[in-house]
Amino acid sequence: MSIWGIATSILAGWLAGALVNWAADHLPDKNFQAIRSGRAPFAFRHYLTLWWYFSRGGVCPHCGEKRPWRVPLVEAVSMGLFLLAWRSFGDAPLTLALLWLYAAFLLTVLVIDLEHRRVLNKMVLPGAVAALAFSFLPGPPSPWQALLGGLIGFGLFLVIAFIGRGAMGAGDVKLAGLIGLMVGYPNVIPALVIGIVLGGAAALALLLSRRAGRKSTMAYAPYLALGALLTLWGTLGG
C-alpha cells in the first residue's frame, strides 16, 4: 500500500468531512443569506475539529462555540470512506474522484435529513444535472442508463408516495430519481431496494423499542443514501 495514497485519501477525506459539516450547518437555512452575503466564511479551525475536539471538550478555538459530536464523527466517517474508495479504485483516478464526490454529497444529504428531516432542492436539482453530465464520462453508467435509472427511481417512489398517502416525502421521491441518475439502470433497483430494506429495519427497531409509533415519521433519505453508496461501489467498479 502506498503511503502517499493513504495520506492523500485521509487528508482529502478530512477536508471533505469539514465541507460536509459546513454544508450541514448552512444549507438548511431557508434564506441562505449568511452564505450569499459572505457572512458565513469557512474557518478551518471551526470545521477541521479532530485535532482539537476531544482535548477541548468540543469548544472551538476559533469562536468559542460548543460544536456537536456530529462534527468529528462526520470527519472520521468521511476519512474512512475516502480511504476505502482509494483501496478499491486507487488505480483509476477518474473513478476515484467521482466516488469521493458522490460520497461527500450523499453524506451531506444523510446528515441534513437526520437533523432537519429535509432533502434540499438546492442540493438535489444541481446534483441531478451533475450526475447526468458525469454519465458522459468513460465508464458506467452510460447517459441512457442514467436517464432510465432516474426515471425508474423517480417513478417508483412517486407511486409509493401516492399509495402510501404521505408515507414517502417529496424530497425522498426526488432523491430516488437522483440516485437513479447516479447508478443508472439496472443498478437503480438494488440501490433502492437496499435503502428500503435498511429503512424498514430501522423503522421496525424504533417500533419494537417503543421510540416511535405506527403513525410516526422518520428520516428516510439516510437509508436511501446508504443504499446508493453501496451500489455505487459496484457500479463504478463495473
- Centre a 10 Å sphere on the Cβ of residue 7 and count the other Cβ atoms it contains: 11
Q: CA–CA separation, 154 vs 176, rounded Å?
A: 5
What is the reported pLDDT for 202?
82
- Sorted by sequence, the CB contacts under 8 Å of residue 24 that are 6+ apart come out as 70, 74, 108, 111, 112, 115
Decide if pLDDT at 40 tops 80.
no
Dihedral sign of CA atoms 15, 18, 22, 23 in order: positive
From CA 109, how far away is CA 171, in angstroms rounded? 11
At 214 the pLDDT is: 58
Long-range contacts of 19-22, Cβ-Cβ distance < 8 Å, separation of 24 or more: 19/47, 19/104, 20/74, 20/78, 20/104, 20/107, 20/108, 20/111, 21/47, 21/49, 21/70, 21/71, 21/74, 21/75, 21/111, 22/47
β-partners of residue 59 are 66
Evaluate if residue 55 carries a pLDDT over 80.
Answer: yes
Name the 3-class secondary structure at 59: strand
The confidence band for 216, taking pLDDT boundaries of 50, 70 and 90, is low
108-128 per-position pLDDT tens digit:
999 999 999 999 999 999 999
Q: What is the mean pLDDT of residues 10-31?
A: 91
Q: What is the pLDDT of residue 42?
A: 59
Separation of alpha carbons 197 and 195, rounded Å: 6
> All 3 cell numbers of residue 98?
467521482
Q: Quickly list H helices, the chain.
A: 3-26, 33-36, 44-47, 70-89, 93-116, 121-134, 143-164, 170-183, 188-208, 221-237
Cβ–Cβ under 8 Å, residues 203 and 152: no
